[in-house]
Amino acid sequence: MKAAGILVLGMFLILANFCEVKAQQQLNMPVLSRWDDDAIPPAWTGAFSECWGYAAADREYAFIGSTQGTYFFDITDPVSPEMVGYFNTKDTVTLVVNKDYATYDHYLYAVSDQGTNSLQIFDLQYLPDSVIKVYDSDVISKRCHTIFVEKDRLYMASNTRPDNSFGAMDIFSIADPLNPQLLGTLSHPGFFSVHETFVRNDTAYCANGNNGLWIYDLSNPAAPFLISIVEFYPESAYNHSAWLTADSKTMVFTDEAHGKGVKVFDMTDIHDPQLVSMIRSNMLQVPVPQSSDGSVAHNPYIVDDILLLSYYHDGVVAYDISDPANPVLIGYNDIHDQNTTYNSYNGCWGLYPFLPSRNIIASDITNGLFILDGSEIFKPKVIVPNNFYFVPAGNPVHSEYITFLYSTPNSLSVGITIYDVTGKLLTDEAVGLVQGKGEIQLPVSGFAAGLYIAVVQTGEQTFSTKFTISEN
């Protein structure tokens, strides 16, 4: 069991059914329900891979890929989701490790990267009554690693065609959703394949594995224009996937290797991206988290100024990146809490945090489909009035107590919680503040040297401040 946790829930696992959930280590992201099916045969990694979501007509849906096919769930009631469909992959013999999904209009596009498979397209417009498979063909793809849809284009990264030729990234028009038309192929002598891409306004941020991240203008897919390359950055490894903030000013990407931090880049000048911070989850508190004993980040997703990460063994992790140079941990759920090391690549594969309800869909390679409550991490930020403040006095801290200075227009009670940078809860106190200016002290004896986060709750207002414990 990992050293972090707040909420404990009971669990009785019933085969192939949603159920209550066992003890989960979490902050601001409780589990609402989970589904698993022990009858699904695992590949070398496990039974499950990617998940995705969809919302229409005031209802919400989750999809998850297994070694054999795709499962469809109505999660409008997130505590009691209902399976509404299942379809096998085209190849019913080979166990699929990598599945990937994207939606366009009322269609779900699905690919597999093992066996002799196909592009599958499902019509979602008749949900929750039924799902219809309307396309299942290997004419343009028999294996594909990842896909992304932007506007009316389908981007197929690492695409193997029926004649076994390979496209680093094939680009298709899906203006006619059931009749994809090839627009162009991205290729370059500097890389063999695109692992995954994020596209906004025809600009593609291509994670190219060991060759770094390449940014392209794909306004004309037949003639891609290279804008810039991000390479030779600290803790570089296998550049896996990227995402942008809504204003396109901040980019986050992961390197899929043990001990490598998640990179946060300033994109003010797209021709010269600048690294401004790194994020690292270490729920197991390994002594050297930057080593091969460290954790592995998989996929980033950004909603407003909230970064969510599928972080393999450490589950789902959320940061406020409104100040990209100083990310603040605001939530997590260790949905894969059975591991005691960071060996291999077990745990959370993917997320879908874009539902109107603010619920979060998560897939775990071993533990199946999770529905998490994201309302706390997504709640609107409250601006603290200018006549109220709460700050550490003397930073870094050199004694067994930390002193906080405050000013409040009214006497009130506040809750103060202190976390380390891994999200481990260390202090949880209710404190009364007297009108006017004052100070309070909290014990920090036994705290190791390092950075800590104090979260202050004043009724409906929540804000955080940082302090450092000195080695002396």
pLDDT given at position 398: 82
pLDDT given at position 407: 84
DSSP-derived 3-state class of residue 378: helix
Q: Is the pLDDT of residue 332 over 50?
A: yes
Span(s) in the chain for CATH 2.130.10.10: 26-378
Other beta carbons less than 10 A from residue 411's beta carbon: 10
Q: Are 43 and 67 in contact (CB under 8 A)?
A: yes
pLDDT given at position 219: 98
pLDDT given at position 460: 65
Lowest mean pLDDT among 8-22, 38-52, 63-77, 426-440: 8-22
- CATH topology (fold) of 389-469: Immunoglobulin-like (2.60.40)
Q: Tell me, what amino acid is at 261?
A: G
Q: Tell me, what amino acid is at 202?
A: D
DSSP-derived 3-state class of residue 149: strand
pLDDT given at position 388: 76
**Strand positions, DSSP E, 138-232:** 143-150, 153-160, 166-173, 181-186, 196-200, 203-207, 213-217, 225-230
Lowest mean pLDDT among 105-114, 157-166, 211-220, 422-431: 422-431
Give 421's pLDDT tier (boundaries 50, 70, 90): low
CA distances from 344 to 124, 237, 294, 381 (A): 36, 16, 11, 38
Q: Is the pLDDT of residue 408 over 90?
A: no
CA distances from 320 to 27, 353, 464 (A): 14, 14, 11
pLDDT given at position 333: 96
DSSP-derived 3-state class of residue 377: helix
Burial class (CB in 10 A: 0-12, 13-18, 19+), 23: middle
**Which residues are 433's β-sheet partners?**
412
- Per the structure block, which two tokens stand in for 338? 């059975």
Span(s) in the chain for CATH 2.60.40.3080: 389-469
Lowest mean pLDDT among 155-159, 185-189, 422-426: 422-426
Helix (H) or strand (E) holding 320: strand 316-320
DSSP-derived 3-state class of residue 376: helix
Average pLDDT over residues 178-201: 98
Convert the pLDDT of each residue in 356-383 to its tens digit.
999 999 999 999 999 999 999 998 664 4
Question: What's domain 26-378's architecture?
Answer: 7 Propeller (2.130)
Q: Is the pLDDT of residue 19 over 80?
A: no
**Residue in 121, 196, 190, 183 with CA at minimum distance from that of residue 157:** 196
Convert the pLDDT of each residue in 283-324 to its tens digit.
999 999 999 999 999 999 999 899 999 999 999 999 999 999
Q: Are 63 and 404 in contact (CB under 8 A)?
A: no
pLDDT given at position 456: 86
- Mean residue pLDDT of the chain comes to 91
